Structures are given as C-alpha cells and as structure tokens.
Amino acid sequence: MDIELNLRTYSLIGMGVLLGLAIGLPFLLNEYWLYLSVVIIIYIILAMSLNLCLGYLGLLNLGYTAMFGVAGYITALLTIRAGLSEWIGLIAALGAIVLISLAIGSIALRLKGVYFILVMVAFLGICGGTAVSASGITGGSSGLGRLPIPSIMGLEFSTTFKYYYLALVILLICLYVVYRLVNSRVGRAMIAVRDNEDLANSQGINPLRYKMIGFVTTGLLAATAGWLYAHFVRFIDPSVLGFSMLFDTAFAVLVGGAGTLGGPIVGSLFVVIVPQLLGKIPVENIEAIRYIIFTVLLVVTIVRMPQGIWGWLKARYNYRYKMARFITLRNPYCLLEEDLLP
Amino acid sequence: MLEIKDLYVYYGPMCALRRIKISVAEGEVVAVIGANGAGKTTLMKTISGLLEPDRGSIEFMGREIGGMSGHSIANLGIIHIPEGRGVFPEMTVLENLEMGAYIFKDEAVTRQTIEQVYELFPVLENRRRQKAGTLSGGEQQMLAIGRGLMGRPKLLLLDEPSQGLSPLLVKNLAQTIEVLHKEHGLNILLVEQNVKMALEMADRGYVLQSGEVILEDSASALLENEVVREAYLGV
Amino acid sequence: MSTSTLVLQQIVNGVSLGSVYVLLAVGFTLSMGVLKLLNIAHGHFYMLGAYLVYSFAHLAGLGYWPAVLLAIPSTFLIGALVHLAGIKPLHGKGYLAPVLSTLAIAFLMESVALLVWPGTVRLIDTPYNYVTYSLAGVSFTEQRLLTFVAALALTAGLYFFLQRTKIGKALRATTQNEDSAELVGVNTGSMRLFALGLSAALAGAAGGLIGPLFAISPGIGLTALFKALVVVLLGGLGSIAGAVLGGFLLGLFEAFFGGFVNAAWTPVATFVLIIIILVVRPRGLFGREELE
C-alpha cells in the first residue's frame, strides 16, 4: 500500500476521456443503469472514506458505515421532523460528524491496533442499536421515509438523470479534496505515521494529530455519502448500519486497491455491477451464492494480491511507480531489524 | 560441524546478510562481533530456522539445514538462546526448564538434566516455583541458558548473552560459558556487542559489519587487530 | 414476585448465561493468545455450532447430547480448515491482513448459513426444556442447569488441558513467546492450527449449549463476537481466569440490565461497556500485557 504518484504522470488525455465519459454517461444509459450509476458514485465516496483510514493511515476503521448512517439519520430528522432545508441537513450532518469523529477519535486513536478496531466496532454497534431501539426518534426498524428532494434555486434534482449530475459534482469535489490531501505535506505525514509511528514521532510528526485529521476526513466523506444516499433513496432505516454495506464497501476498497486513488473507484464498479450481472443468471439463491463468491474473492485477494486490482495494474504498467515503491520502503526497516524487536 | 557458505538473507527488499562464510568446528567457541544493526541476530535466527536464507547454504554435521523450520533444527541439536533471554514469563522457572526438554520423551533423563542445571545455577533451584517474568535480568539469563541446556545441544547459539547485565554478572556469565565449554564439551557460537568478553572466551572470531564479514581470525589475533581495537574496543 | 426473588431470578439467569459466555470467551482468548489474531469469525463458529446441533438433533434425529458431541469435533474441523485456507497464508504479513481475512470468512460463513438453513429462526428443542426446578422461589428449567454444568465442565477440562498436558503447555508457551517456543522444539505452526480449531470447537460448543435457550439465526454470530469481546476485555486478554470472571460478570450485567432497566437497550449498554473498559482499563482485570 503505497503512495500514488502525482497524477501528472498519467496522460491528461486519459483523464479527460474519463471525465467526458462520466459526463456523457446519462445520455447513453437507461433508467435502470442510471440508477445504478448513482449508487456506484455513493459507494465510491464511501469506499474513499474507508480507503483513507485503511490505506493511508493503516487503521481498520469499521465505524465509517456508522458515520454514513448517522449522517443519513441526521439529515432525515432535520428535513422530515423539523422541516428544514436539505442543505441545512447536509451542513448539520457534516458538522455533527466532525464533532462525533473528534470525540470518538480522541478515545480510539490513542489505542493500539486491536483495541482501536474494537472501539470502532463498539461505536458501530451503539449506533446500530440506538437506531433500532430509540424508535420514538428514529422510527426503529421501520425507519424514516420521504426525505425531500434536494434543489438549488428552484431547480429540483427530481429525476435520476439530474441527481446523477449532483452526485457526480459532489464526487469530483471529494476526489479533488482527497487528491490534494494525500499529495500534501499532511498526506505524507499520515503515510509516515502509518508506516512507522515511532519513527514519525521522532521526526517531529505528532501521530495523534495526523491520525485525527485523517479520521475526521474519513468521517466527512462517509457523511457526504450518507447525505447523498438519504436524499436519493429518500428513505433511511437501520439496515444502512448493517453488515452488507460494510462488506460491500470494504470489498470495494480491498479488491479495488487500498491506498490508491483509483482503487475505490474500480472496486465500487465491481461491487455494484457484478452482482447485477450475476442476477441475470437464473439460479435459485443467487443472492447468497454471490456473497459466497465475493467472500472467496476477498480472501484470495488478501492472500494473493493485497495491493488490489488497481495497485496491481499500477505496479505492472508504470515503471516509475515501481521505482517509487522501492524507494518508499524505508531503509532502516531492514538493517535495524534488531531494533524493531520488542 | 557448522559450515555456512555464501549466505544471503534479505529482509524485504533490503539485504541483511551478504556473502557470509562462517564455520564452527568441533570443540570450538566462535565469536561473531559487530555493532548494532550489523546483522548478528539475523545470522543467528537464520541458523536456528526462525528466518529463511535467500541464497547460500548452511550445513550442520554434513546436513543442509537452510530453510528448515525452527523446531526441526532444534531437534537436530542446535539450540538458540535468543537475544533478550526469551523466557516464558508466565510460566515458572521449573516449567521453563521442562519446556526446554520438550522434544524429549524420557522423563528420567530430563529430571537428571534439571538437577545438573540446578547445580550450575543454584539460584534457579531456589526460585523454581517463581514466574519467570519476575526474575531479574541476570537470573533470566541463567534461566535461558539452563533452558537451552535442557535441549541437550550439540551446538549452542548464544545471542548477546551479556545484554543488560552488570559487569559482575558478565564476568559470572563468561565463567559459566567457559565451564560449559571445557567441562561439558559444548560447541558454542557466540554473538556479542561486548567485544572484549567475546574474544577473551572464544577460539576464533568473525567481525560483522553491515551484513558482511570483514575480518576473520583467531580470537587473540583479533584482540590485537588495529581495526578491531579502534572501532570496537575504543582503544 | 418480591424484589429479593426477582434479584435471585436474575442471578440465576445471569449465571447460566454467563457460563456459556465463559466458554465462548475462553475460546476467543485462546485464539487471540496463540495466533495474536482478532478472529472476527469467532462468533460465527458459535452460530455454526448452534445450527449443527439443530441439524443433528432435529433433522438427523440424534438426541440432544449426541448432537452436541458430534457438533464439537465438526466445528473443530471447520475451524482447522478456515485456518489453513484463510489465516495461515497470511502469517507474518502484519496483524491487519489476517483480521480482514477473518472478516471475509465471517461473511462467508453467514452466507453459507443462509443458504443451508434458509428462512426463519430455528429453535433447538430438548426434553430438558420441559422440566422445571424451583429453589427459593426461583424457577429454572432443567436445560438451564445442564447447560450451566456442561459449560463449566468444558471450561474446567480446558483449564486442566492447558496446565497439565504437554500440548497444553506448548500452547501456553507459544502464547507467551512464539520464537522461544519454536526454538525449544514446539511446532508453532501446528500449535496455531490446533488453537484455532480448539477455539472454534469451544465456540461451537457454546452455541450448541445455548441453542435450546434462545432462538438461533445467522445473525447471532456477530452478536456472539461482541459478547466474547466484552468478556475478554473485562477479564483481560490472554487470561483464562479473567475470561471466567468476565463471563459471569457479563451474564449478570445483562440479566440485571435487561430485567431491571430495559431489555431493548441491553445491546447498546454492552457496547458502551466496551468503550468504557477500553478507556479506563484496556488490559482488563487480569490482563498481562497490551496486545499489539
């Protein structure tokens, strides 16, 4: 899991083509696939959120779906119960997630490895349990429905066609933010903390601070995805805090390629499109079977191709990337092996 | 009895050991000295099977052992007493010693060997029901050596036994190792940062620097060697 | 019911529940200690055990106890398989990769369970469910008593196994210092395999024992994992005594919280408990060290 090289090494034409494709897509697709495209975009943003924590910080943060769900619930509550605008919902959700991330992060990020995972899992459990149990507020298992459709200055994003562009713009903003973050001093500091926390510390980098920055950003991305989802599907219930969302996006990140920018995109495409194609096969229980296939794929990926599809592609076709990989593997790592022993 | 030829060990993409050629003959005490990070522990771990060599051969009593697993190599008679003692902290001294004889089935010989270890290190007998983690550094070192002896070694690998010990304890340690060698006839490969102690005990020595052997000679010659004196003895 | 009887009733419930938690947690702490692994699929072995007992008892027509006795080695074998396929290949590649693998395996097991036992929840029915005893105004079914006894017996058996047998000691040694264990001749690879199989078997046993008391569905795997986590955190990672104490504490906590406060919020309360423990005293009551 390594630094991605500056995008300038890729031909700008390639980027332009992709962008053009993305913009022109709605004209080529039917309603069904257009709907899926929006779902893919939401998944990409959510996968980017996990990717930030897992790929760039090295933290297995299983609470990101909780942030996703909480944001969705906040905007739902504000727009349905309090009748506020969906944009207030967005700001409130983002703000609340920042606060929650700071709070949880201050506990969790001080803890090592396993304990961190546990806190985030516990956090996810609390959110899920509260969503179900506090049925007075959250609507319990039935959830909350009929969220309003977002609109800007009278233009309503009432069709999938229009919503797609809203989602696309938000995605591009998120991509840009992450790209700038990862390639900045802050991003490099995060990677340094990931690779060797003590070493980073001795070089004047405060691990907690950078972990927190990454952690909060993860939350913000997840919250954005949550808001998009809530106003697209116009319904929210505790299932968003469940296993399937967690699995799908985790799969997207791991199989797509953690620690890269393109990985979550590739992974999300895979995770949404493949089940659709599998669904066409007229076999009973295809749903459960697809889960089996996916989990086998996931295990095989972790064992054989831990850098994911995108990471693999990059290593093969970009020799400059290979050089960077070699250089980024720290020198002291090898020779000071004795010092690394506890 | 131990022949290492052209050994290369990589740690990830970096090379930890390069072109290593070391031998230990029957009845010898051989020392490998060098600074921190030179690769001494990597060398020991590769011999004892905790690490795999990438190139080259390690022969023990004529048999190629490179790449064999740690427990198999222990079965062959190479006992590695690791850096930092490596005792089982939650087990008692006695349990630690018993673990040392894990590969053997005859209880009677094990009991005898334990008695021998107690003779060598009386303090272990006193503390035999104490948890190993509560022992002092010097006591743990004795326990580690005792446990190693329980394995009835043909070749003993000692990794920085003097680490963390006071000068007095180091002297005791040196005496113990002498006894083990002279009276019990153990072959010893010793890796140390304490160059003086190591070379005084050894018959021959190798100097390891940045993963390569830069000097090889008899121990007494090395003690007189200019390079060694300047770099490691601070003379 | 008078308050004191109510309290006693909750104590009985808590203790019988706790005994199963102990079994579950002891297996978890074993796999954590030997493999240094957060086995996310641990709870799913519990779920598997419950379903296997159900299948053996109801579908294959075996009695309850034979079903349990068959389910235990079956879960052991499945655990061993999981280790060989998903965990062993990742040995030495950091702590994160194996954990992710167990996450995937957990999903896999749940999917398979949904496939093999589709539909609604099942209930393991045993003749012991219908015999009730009464003591000091508190009533409990024979099943609860038997579950309690069985869980305790298994835990005690495990304790003696670890303390008195050669392999048990080798397991403990591997937990305390893997390299040293290898160097004295312990085949640590085999130990890891055995430990995972054993922890799976214990979890499966717990599932089989609790099956008659509660309904079973594929989702209970995740819940069981959380319970095991709380117990192990309470008692301390790597400590069997801690797991025993923690198991009963959790059982009692849940019984009292559910009985006196609000049953619906018990899961949330348990999670809050996890966070509190992690903040205040991550090493638990008897924990030796902080695991990386």
Share of residues in chain B with pLDDT > 70 (%)? 99
The single-letter DSSP state of residue C281 is -
List pLDDT tens digits, range C66-75: 888 999 999 9
* Per-residue pLDDT, A3: 42
* Per-residue pLDDT, B234: 66
Is there a contact between A125 and A131 (Cβ–Cβ < 8 Å)? no
* Residue in A329, A337, A339 closest to B13 by CB: A329
Share of residues in chain A with pLDDT > 70 (%)? 86
C110 to chain A: which residues are within 8 Å by CB? 243, 291
Q: Is the Cβ pair B87, C181 closer than 8 Å?
A: no
The single-letter DSSP state of residue C95 is T
d(CA A49, CA A42): 11
* Per-residue pLDDT, C174: 92
A247 to chain C: which residues are within 8 Å by CB? 103, 107
Mean pLDDT is lowest, of B217-221, B224-228, C262-266, for C262-266
Among C263, C271, C285, residue whose Cα is nearest residue C10: C263
C226 to chain A: which residues are within 8 Å by CB? 121-122, 125
Average pLDDT for chain C: 84
The total of other beta-carbon atoms located within 10 Å of residue A151's CB is: 15
Residues 6 or more apart whose CB falls under 8 angstroms from that of A321 comprise A2, A5, A314, A315
Tell the residue number behind the tokens 């903390």, with chain if given.
A193
Is there a contact between C292 and A111 (Cβ–Cβ < 8 Å)? no
Parse chain B into domains and list their residue ranges.
1-77+156-164+189-235
Strand partners, B64: B59
Q: What is the average per-residue pLDDT within B39-60?
A: 90
Q: Is the Cβ pair B16, A335 closer than 8 Å?
A: yes
* Residue in A113, A119, A289 closest to C278 by CB: A119
Res. A209 pLDDT band, cuts 50 70 90: confident
Torsion of CA C27, C32, C37, C43, to 10 degrees: 30
* Per-residue pLDDT, C257: 82
The total of other beta-carbon atoms located within 10 Å of residue A99's CB is: 12
Q: Does B47 touch chain C (CB under 8 A)?
A: no
Q: Which residue has the higher pLDDT, A135 or A164?
A: A164
- Whether C204 shows a pLDDT value over 90: the answer reads yes
* Per-residue pLDDT, C81: 93
C292 to chain A: which residues are within 8 Å by CB? 112-114
Start-to-end CA span in chain C (Å)? 49
Which residue from C minimizes the CA distance to B152?
C184
* Per-residue pLDDT, A10: 55
Interface test with C, best of B102, B103, B150, B154 (most C CBs within 10 A): B102
* Per-residue pLDDT, B47: 92
Q: What is the average per-residue pLDDT within B89-104?
A: 91
List residues in chain A touching B: CB distance below 8 A. 326, 329, 331, 333-339, 341
Res. C78 pLDDT band, cuts 50 70 90: very high
Among C249, C155, C246, C153, residue whose Cα is nearest residue C198: C155
Rounded to two decimals, the ipTM of the complex is 0.89
A58 to chain C: which residues are within 8 Å by CB? 96
- Whether A11 shows a pLDDT value over 70: the answer reads no
CA distance B224 to chain A (A): 28
* Per-residue pLDDT, A60: 81
CA distance C88 to chain A (A): 10
Which residue from B minimizes the CA distance to C184?
B100
* Per-residue pLDDT, C232: 85
C29 part of a folded domain? yes
Most confident range (mean pLDDT) of A122-136, A243-257, C178-192, C215-229 is C178-192
d(CA C103, CA C100): 5
* Residue in C114, C268, C275 closest to A129 by CB: C268
Residues 21-80 on C with a CB inside 8 Å of A are 38
* Per-residue pLDDT, C195: 94
- For chain B, which chains pass the contact test of at least 3 CB pairs under 8 Å? A, C
The CATH superfamily label for domain B1-77+156-164+189-235 reads: P-loop containing nucleotide triphosphate hydrolases (3.40.50.300)
3-state class percentages of chain B: helix first, strand second, coil last, to nearest 5: 40, 25, 30
Q: What is the average per-residue pLDDT within A138-144?
A: 72
- Whether A119 shows a pLDDT value over 80: the answer reads yes
Mean pLDDT is lowest, of A110-114, A165-169, C28-32, C245-249, for A110-114
C2 part of a folded domain? no
CA distance A327 to chain B (A): 10
d(CA B46, CA B80): 10
Among A122, A296, A29, B86, residue whose Cα is nearest residue C176: B86
* Per-residue pLDDT, B28: 87
* Residue in B12, B84, B210 closest to A329 by CB: B12
Strand partners, B60: B2, B63
Q: Does B53 touch chain C (CB under 8 A)?
A: no
**What global pTM score does this model have?**
0.83
List pLDDT tens digits, range C108-133: 888 888 878 876 677 777 776 777 77
* Per-residue pLDDT, A326: 46
C266 part of a folded domain? no
The total of other beta-carbon atoms located within 10 Å of residue B15's CB is: 18
Res. C200 pLDDT band, cuts 50 70 90: very high
The single-letter DSSP state of residue C88 is G
- Whether A9 shows a pLDDT value over 70: the answer reads no
Domain interval for residue C150: 16-218
Most confident range (mean pLDDT) of A240-244, C127-131, C232-236 is C232-236
Q: Does B110 touch chain A (CB under 8 A)?
A: no
Q: Is the Cβ pair C99, A60 closer than 8 Å?
A: yes
Q: Is the Cβ pair A338, B16 closer than 8 Å?
A: no
d(CA A242, CA C171): 36
List pLDDT tens digits, range A24-80: 877 877 888 888 888 899 999 999 999 888 888 878 888 898 999 899 888 888 888
Residues 204-263 on C with a CB inside 8 Å of A are 222, 226, 229, 233
Q: What's the structural domain count of chain C?
A: 1
Mean pLDDT is lowest, of A12-16, C205-209, C257-261, for A12-16
* Per-residue pLDDT, A14: 66
CA distance A116 to chain C (A): 9
The whole-angstrom distance between residue A334's C-alpha and the CA centroid of its chain comes to 33
- Whether A338 shows a pLDDT value over 50: the answer reads no
Residues 6 or more apart whose CB falls under 8 angstroms from that of B57 comprise B3, B4, B5, B6, B7, B64, B66
Interface test with C, best of B41, B48, B50, B71 (most C CBs within 10 A): B71
Res. A317 pLDDT band, cuts 50 70 90: low
CA distance B96 to chain C (A): 9
Mean pLDDT is lowest, of A12-21, B28-37, C209-218, for A12-21
* Residue in A333, A338, A339 closest to B14 by CB: A333
Q: Is the Cβ pair A337, B12 closer than 8 Å?
A: no
Which residue from A minimizes the CA distance to B15?
A334
Tell the residue number behind the tokens 């207030």, with chain if given.
A88
* Per-residue pLDDT, B143: 92
Q: What is the average per-residue pLDDT within A129-155?
A: 74
* Per-residue pLDDT, A340: 31
* Residue in C173, C185, C188 closest to B88 by CB: C173
